[in-house]
Every structure is written in structure tokens, then in C-alpha cells.
Amino acid sequence: MSKKLLYEGKAKIIYETENPDELLVYYKDDATAGNGAKKGTIVDKGIMNNKITTFFFDLLAKKGIEHHYLKVLSDREVLVRKLEIIPLEVVVRNIAAGSLAARLGLKEGTPMKCPIVELYYKNDDLNDPMINHYHIKAMEMASEAEIKTVEEAALRVNEILVDYLKTKDITLVDFKLEYGRDGNGKIILADEISPDNCRFWDSNTNEKLDKDRFRRDMGNVEDAYKEILKRLTGEVR
């Protein structure tokens, strides 16, 4: 398949394909934290995140949720629908951790009475600042109807994932999603769902099984990704 580099991000490389409606995504092992301030490699992360994302997207599709994955091409490569990405990081939180715990002075691990949705402007130069509906409409990133669609869709994803992950003894603390518009303006789930953009804690021990192990220099980073892959798919790496 002929491919032309479109964009290299922090974790993935995006290529155009012969089909203008499709992109090829290549998952790298590169890991960054603090908006690129900390850089490193997590061995085979790209392979594991592609497999984990495929697993979650298949699960969500069975529950009627449309996503951008079309066809896994190799361990690290997937063909996706080309979308016009809405420049928002849609974060859903069930338990206080990370920036929420810091900003509101909550002890990490405090359960929230209901899920929280937060919206961040996806802009590395600005360090992804948190924004609200007014900013999004004023800057013409999305309409009120689109924002509502995205928030409701993200909460639905949360319900499905929380319920499923419980059966695997994994607590879904929080996660980040991205959405895009297809050619008809329909909002579709994009990007990835993996330990890079979710906080997964072992339900029995609260051991962190996600990128926080890299962000916080906790060690056993690869093992955390392997453990998530194993609990979801049974695959032992």
C-alpha cells in the first residue's frame, strides 16, 4: 500500500493512503509525559496499544458505538476512517487522580459521586488548557449540539468500560477520548483507548496499570501494559 506521511505525533504516525477517506495509523513505542517534557520508550507499547485499542473498539461496537478503526494491518498499523478531529481532549473521571486531584486538593483515589466530564483544548503550545462550552462555541471548534453529543457519547463509553473492566478486576479511574466528524458531519469516536490515555488500577490492590508508571518513574512500565493486554485478551507477551 502506498502511503504518504501526513503527521507525526508523540505516540503515533499518520499516513495518507490511496483512499482519501482512509488514513494509516502507525503506533510507536515513544512515550512522553508533561506535554513532551519527559521522553522515553516503552518497549512494544505500540503493539500493545494497537491491540488494546482494537479490543476496546470491538467491545464498544458491540454496544452500538461507532468508531474510526476499519482494519488492523499489522501489529503496529491500523487503517482508520479519516475524520476532521475536533481539537478537544474529552476527559471522563470516576475517581480523583492526576490534575483533578491537584487542582481541587482532592486525595488521589477519592471516588466521585458521579462521573465528571472535562474538556481541554488540544494544543501542545498552550499545554492543553481546560476550556468550557463558551470557549468552544466562541472559537468555533464545535456547536453546542456537537458538544452535547460528544459529552453524552463519552459518558456512555464510560458506563460500558467501567462495567466491563470490573469483570477483569480493573478500576477505570479516568480516561481521555477524541472525537471527529465524518464527511456528513456525524461525530465518531477516534484516536485510541489504551494505558496511554486511561488510568487503570487493579481493583484489589489499587496498583497502577497505566502510563502513570512512566510519568511518575514507578518502574515496571512494560509489565503494566502487558497485564492490561493479558486481562483483556488473554494474550501473554
Q: How many residues does the chain have?
A: 237
Instruction: Identify residues 61-100 at the interface with ligand UDP (CB under 6 A).
Output: 89, 91, 97-100
99 binds, among ligand ADP, ligand UDP, none (CB under 5 to 8 A by kind): ligand UDP
Decide: 197 and 98 in contact? Cβ < 8 Å. Answer: no
Q: How far is the CB of 160 from ligand ADP (least distance, A)?
A: 20
Q: Which of 3, 10, 215, 231 binds ligand ADP (CB under 6 A)?
A: 10
Nearer to ligand ADP, 31 or 95 (CB): 31
Contacts for 120-127: CB closer than 8 Å, 24+ residues apart: 120/88, 120/89, 120/91, 121/87, 121/88, 121/89, 122/85, 122/87, 122/88, 122/89, 122/178, 123/87, 124/35, 124/36, 127/35
Does 12 interact with ligand UDP (rule: CB under 6 A)? no
Its sign, for the CA torsion 40, 128, 229, 213, is positive
Binding interface with ligand ADP (CB under 6 A): 9-12, 14, 23, 68, 80-83, 85, 178, 180, 190-191
Binding interface with ligand UDP (CB under 6 A): 89, 91, 97-100, 128, 174-176, 197-199, 211
